[in-house]
Structure 1
Amino acid sequence: MPDFTTAPLYLIGALLLGYLLGSIPFGVVITRLMGLGDLRRIGSGNIGATNVLRTGNKAAALATLILDGGKGAAAVLIARAIAAEDAAQAAALGAFAGHLFPVWLKFRGGKGVATFLGTLLALAWPVGLAACATWLVTALVTRISSLSALVSAALAAIWAAWLGYPQIVYLTVILATMIYWKHIPNIERLMAGTEPKIGGRR
């Protein structure tokens, strides 16, 4: 855990800032702007980049991936610039929660993987790079986005400890637990052998 040096009011402010940034549903916005329809009625109904890819528009999926990760990173960097590392972690938690439970979509959001990776890159870039590499290698081998997310989330805390960032281990465990919770239907399909491949339609 980080040293708590920031005043509680500022920590709450960082959490709220992160939530507001994280709750921007870029997948929904981009697909509508590009005339691809309502993302929540496509494929799995998820608002993340994997489901955007099911529209067949790779540019839209890439933009969603970058922006969903970027909003998490932006929240961390802004909070760190204004306060300290404890505020940065509060903003990371807020951004992640915002993506999962966005107020603009009646608290029905995505699964948070891109935002998770974006916050890690901003909090401790070596850990973020290791988590991204874990996702990428798993995806290349299995072609299953959900499995890649689960493996990356599970190893994030180990990467943090091994690479010398013990202050974010607790946060990564909390975020990884939430990712697993949001992926329960995916885990059930993985066990049944029915989870779709990346780019496949449901």
Structure 2
Amino acid sequence: MIILISLLFIFCSYLLGGLNGAILLCRIKGWEDPRLAGSKNPGSTNMLRLHHAQAASAVLIFDLLKGTLPVYLAYFLGFSPLCIGFIGIATCLGHIFPPYFEFKGGKGVATSLGVLLPLGTNMSGLLVLTWLLTLAISGYASLAAIITAIAAPIIIEQIKPEFTLPVLMLSILILLRHVSNIKRLLSGKEKKIVNWKQ
């Protein structure tokens, strides 16, 4: 019975993760599908490029919350760390492969951060700081996401080692979604979102 409840919770988390904030906002506003413009990634960074800070902020908050809610609820209900990890991964997979939008979603950075928020403010604070520092130094949002994904399992190992395996799995998923960004960074073709020289 416990296994059945866990599987149902994981499946529902996937469905919740499939609600993409950028795509939904663009449909409500009558804007072009973010998967067809800019970086073609339906996330807050591309929304900032295509529209304005308010739109990007709304998408960021939405994607954070949909990652946080199922994990927080599972944590509150006493699910095992491994099960909580799979719930978080399922939510991110829903964002990346949304069943409502032809399975073409975003890269899962904001949703992943939302998944990690219930694990503790010290954990999430260090990750946000890592992301902000990398962005401030490099100007690349993609590099900030990559460095943060690499740092996440190292940080969680020091704070809550029982979550290291699921966080490592989540980090690998994020890194796989950024392979094209890594190639552009190495070739010098990646676009900065912050350019201090201007």
Q: What is the match of residue 97 of structure 2?
A: 101
TM-score for the superposition, normalised by structure 2: 0.92
Alpha-carbon deviation of 1:126?
Answer: 1.8
Name which structure has the greater RCO, CA cutoff 8 Å, separation 6+.
Answer: 1
Alpha-carbon deviation of 1:32?
Answer: 2.5
The count of corresponding residues between Structure 1 and Structure 2 is 194
CA distances 1:124-154 after superposition (whole Å, capped 9, x unpaired): 3321221111111111111101000000000
Among 140, 144, 149, which residue is 2:140 paired with?
144
Q: CA RMSD in A?
A: 1.7
Amino acid at match of 1:118: G
Q: What is the match of residue 60 of structure 2?
A: 65
Q: What is the match of residue 195 of structure 1?
A: 190
Q: Matches of 1:22 and 1:83 in 2, distance apart? A: 21
Q: What is the match of residue 172 of structure 2?
A: 177
Q: Equivalent pairs: percent with the same residue?
A: 34
- Kindly report structure 1 stretches of 4+ aligned residues shifted beyond 4 Å: none
Among 101, 111, 131, which residue is 1:115 paired with?
111
Q: Matches of 1:55 and 1:121 in 2, distance apart? A: 28
Instruction: Show structure 2 runs of 5+ residues with no match.
Output: none
Q: Residues 119-138 of structure 1 correspond to what in structure 2 (within 5 A)?
A: 119-138=115-134
DSSP 3-state at the match of 1:149: helix
Q: Is the 8 A contact 2:140 2:194 kept in 1?
A: no
Q: What is the match of residue 25 of structure 1?
A: 20
> Once structures 1 and 2 are overlaid, which stretch shifts more, 73-82 or 173-182?
73-82
Q: What is the match of residue 152 of structure 2?
A: 156
Instruction: Show structure 1 runs of 5+ residues with no match.
Output: 1-5
